Amino acid sequence: MKAEQESKNLNMSELKDKLEESLASGDGQPNSIKKGQLTNTQIPAVEFVEDVDAFMSRPENGSEAQIVLKRMEETYSRMKIIEANNVGTKRRLKTQIQELDKSLEMLEVLKQRKSENKEITNHFRLADHVYIKARIPPVEKIGLWLGAKVMLEYDMDEGEELLVSKKAKAESNLKATQDIIDNVREQITVTEVNMARIYNWDVKRRQAEKEKGKGGS
């Protein structure tokens, strides 16, 4: 029986380590920056078209404004998708950080009541507009959701350490996500300016050809 209990404790310890490792790497949280997602350095820089004539005379462009504009529109659409995805990631990360702050605040309350040997009186919602009053005695351990519908029990200090590390990871991901958003928005602006310059160049070219045709007739 003792050996069976030790084996069970070992398995739970291994499970906890694996879940924490997954959570730290982002695999256990949909609102972290996951492996395979674009990083700031992987977003291609868009060339600013300063000399439109020289740009359009390149072999790959062949002075065909519609072909060039179509290619730029595809790049623009991809950039907008990247922007939208990262804006969503930023929103989820900010929500996660707020929830972690609330958890850390509650943990401080539990630790204080434990040191004072006092119980906590609280109200829990059973359903909409239905609450029940409960008294919580001083506790030694806390339960934390680790994602994937899994909750594990921790000592208070161990749980606080995990929450602090999760918050630091989320704040780091939030900064990286904001850098990506700033970068991609800059590329979007450059693309919009390039498209406008090439469109105007094409209008002027067509007008010149039209005037030239009238002069020849």
pLDDT digits (tens, 9 = 90+) for 149-200: 888 999 999 999 999 999 999 999 999 999 999 999 999 999 999 999 999 9
CATH number for the domain that contains residue 202: 1.10.287.370
Mean pLDDT on 81-94: 95
User: Would 193 be classed as within a structural domain?
Assistant: yes
- Asked, for residue 39, whether it belongs to a domain, the answer is no
In a domain, 67, yes or no: yes
Comparing CA positions, the residue from 202, 208, 206 lying closest to residue 55 is 202
| Residue 9 within any structural domain of the chain | no
What is the extent of the structural domain holding 77? 49-113+141-206
Q: What pLDDT shows up at residue 18?
A: 53
Question: Which pLDDT score, from 0 to 100, does residue 7 have?
Answer: 44
More confident residue, 19 or 156: 156
The residues near 215 (Cβ < 8 Å, ≥ 6 apart) are none
- pLDDT (0 to 100) of residue 27: 42
pLDDT in tens, 107-133: 999 999 989 999 988 888 889 889 999
Phi and psi torsions of 110, nearest 5°: -65, -40
Q: pLDDT tens digits, residue range 56-83?
A: 999 988 889 999 999 999 999 999 999 9
174-204 CB burial, b ≥16 within 10 A, e <16:
bebbbebbebbbebbebbeebbebbeebbee
- pLDDT category, 145, cuts 50, 70, 90? confident
Q: State whether residue 144 is helix, strand or coil.
A: strand
Domain assignment present for residue 151? The answer is: yes
In a domain, 90, yes or no: yes
Q: What's the pLDDT score for residue 86?
A: 95
**Residue 95 corresponds to which tokens in the numbers above?**
């929500």
pLDDT for res 25 = 45
Q: Is residue 126 situated within a structural domain?
A: no
**Residue 126: what are its φ and ψ, rounded to 5°?**
-90, -35
What was the pLDDT predicted at 56?
Answer: 92
Q: Contact at 8 Å (CB) between 49 and 186?
A: no
Q: How many domains does the chain have?
A: 1
> Token match 């029986």: residue?
1
Beta bridge partners of 155: 141
85 part of a folded domain: yes
Tell me the angle at which helices 65-116 and 156-216 cross, rounded to the nearest 10 degrees: 160
Query: What pLDDT was estimated at residue 187?
Result: 93
- pTM score of the predicted model: 0.73
pLDDT tens for each residue of 32-51: 344 335 555 567 788 999 99
